Amino acid sequence: MQVRVPDSLYHATGKRKIVRSLGTRILAEAQVLRHQVVGEIKAYLKSLSGSKNNPNLAFIHEMMQHRKAIDLGLHGNREDALAGAALSVDVLRDNYLSPTGIARKGVEIDHERDTRLHVDETQLNQFDLAERIFTSSTEIILISQALTHHLDEAASYIRNQTCNDRKRHVKVFIDWLGQDKEVSHVTRKEAARYLTEKVMKLDLAIPTKKKYIGSLSALFAWCKERCYCDTNPFDGLAQGIKSTTRATRQKTETKRRPFTTSELLSIFNAISQHRGVDNPLWPYAWIALFTGMRSNEIAEIRLIDVYEDYINISEAKNHNSARKVPIHATLKPLVQKLKETSSDDYLISKLGRGGEDNKRNHLIVKRFSSLLRGKAGIKDKAAVYHCFRNTLANALENAGVQLSTAEQIEGHRRQSMTYGLYSHGVELSVLIESINKVKFDKKVEDLLLNT
């Protein structure tokens, strides 16, 4: 059985085609086995597509596939096949250390000893790993394999976006290592070097850098639970990623902030004039301004969760986000209209889903961002959809609303131990009274009241 190797992967395999024996002369058995073997070869080639620039990764992945084929009985007697494969690795190691013939091209040789002058320790480690693949009585678990098993198991309780982030972050680590190592052989020293030499030098925000380490810590914590390794080398490492306390121009310019009155006027005028007040962007932006709700929370408001004076958020990302959000008196007519005209189960109808997690807020936030930078003419990178939450928080503070009440309205964890730990929160009547203390510029509110 043979499968052609794509031209783009020729440099990774060194072959134009991959040939595998089906290990049988019986036609019926061959017809059954060929689909399985072809599937394995294609899966192997797919794995190489992420390792185009790293022949070490390609080499180990091929060794793992070869071990799997031996265990399936595709290479005759299992013990003989394993011994032969291990011997082949020894030959490859010897050829690397003492290159002969065409292998000498471009290699500096110590002619007295007939060995290389410069040895790549990473390459030697890969030969050692390949030998263990064929001689070990226990299963060898590589980082990439552990990641696949981990994400397959975690798919039911983490978002697609988180899965994809974790894949990307782990791939960066493997590329930095230069090899797909056994999880049990990754050391704390390597993890610390990765933090210092790679992650800290990335031109990314501090929270994003912490995610790079957090993804690896989550993977190795899972590996430790499954007895694939004894320790988690990334445990607590993210604590070493700290932002400077010194104010910098870049931090000041990119920090999210409240919208100004002129920006609010530009936003709502742009929506009404270029999209129309019947466009979902209109109620979406107003609800965000007067409630401080997150974009996904607004998109997921169902009619059954909308009451006369408040919106109930029962499904949220954490305990603090699950709350009763009071409806401002100025917003009530718009909410009532939306309830009466809804064509589905949601307060804001006909929102298309999109993104990695098929979220209901994905497309409308993209449309808002396009309008913000375009028709509204707001180019400041610190001004984004999330700034509606900053705007309401600022308005609550200026209205003299108590901090713990404002935190409860916006769904933040209350900072005080007395209120945050022992209190169940203020009554709904207090929330309603507090939100109605909020006043925006008359020109802004008139845009809503006059539509």
CATH number, domain with residue 270: 1.10.443.10
Can you give the pTM of this predicted structure? Answer: 0.60
Looking at the fold, whether 70 and 149 belong to one and the same domain comes out as no
Domain membership of residue 292 (yes or no) is: yes
Looking at the fold, whether 147 and 52 belong to one and the same domain comes out as no
Domain membership of residue 253 (yes or no) is: no
> Which CATH number belongs to the domain containing residue 147 in this structure?
1.10.150
Looking at the fold, whether 21 and 40 belong to one and the same domain comes out as yes
Domain membership of residue 252 (yes or no) is: no
Looking at the fold, whether 323 and 435 belong to one and the same domain comes out as yes
Domain membership of residue 86 (yes or no) is: yes
User: Residue 352 corresponds to which amino acid?
Assistant: G
**Per-residue pLDDT at 51:** 46
Looking at the fold, whether 90 and 170 belong to one and the same domain comes out as no
Domain boundary among 135, 161, 191: 135
**Per-residue pLDDT at 422:** 46
Looking at the fold, whether 218 and 295 belong to one and the same domain comes out as no
Burial class (CB in 10 A: 0-12, 13-18, 19+), 340: exposed
Domain membership of residue 237 (yes or no) is: yes
Q: Each residue's pLDDT tens digit in the chain (451 positions)? A: 677 777 655 545 556 777 767 666 676 666 656 666 666 666 556 655 544 455 566 778 788 888 888 888 888 888 988 898 888 888 888 877 776 654 555 667 776 776 777 777 777 888 888 888 889 887 789 999 899 999 999 888 888 888 989 999 999 999 999 888 899 999 999 999 999 999 999 888 888 999 999 999 999 999 999 999 999 999 999 988 876 555 454 454 557 899 999 999 999 999 999 999 999 999 999 999 999 999 999 999 999 999 999 999 987 666 667 889 999 999 999 999 999 999 999 999 989 888 877 889 999 999 999 999 999 999 998 899 999 999 999 999 999 999 989 999 998 776 654 455 445 668 999 999 999 999 999 999 999 998 8
What's the number of domains the chain is made of?
3
The boundaries of the domain holding residue 382 are 261-449
Looking at the fold, whether 295 and 327 belong to one and the same domain comes out as yes
**Per-residue pLDDT at 412:** 77
Looking at the fold, whether 235 and 92 belong to one and the same domain comes out as no
Domain membership of residue 251 (yes or no) is: no
Looking at the fold, whether 127 and 174 belong to one and the same domain comes out as no
Looking at the fold, whether 296 and 421 belong to one and the same domain comes out as yes
Work out the end-to-end distance of the chain between its first and last CA atoms, rounded to an integer number of angstroms: 71
Domain boundary among 184, 212, 243: 243
Domain boundary among 135, 165, 186: 135
Looking at the fold, whether 416 and 300 belong to one and the same domain comes out as yes
Domain membership of residue 184 (yes or no) is: yes
Pairing of strands 2-4, 115-116: unpaired
Looking at the fold, whether 128 and 147 belong to one and the same domain comes out as no
Domain membership of residue 55 (yes or no) is: yes
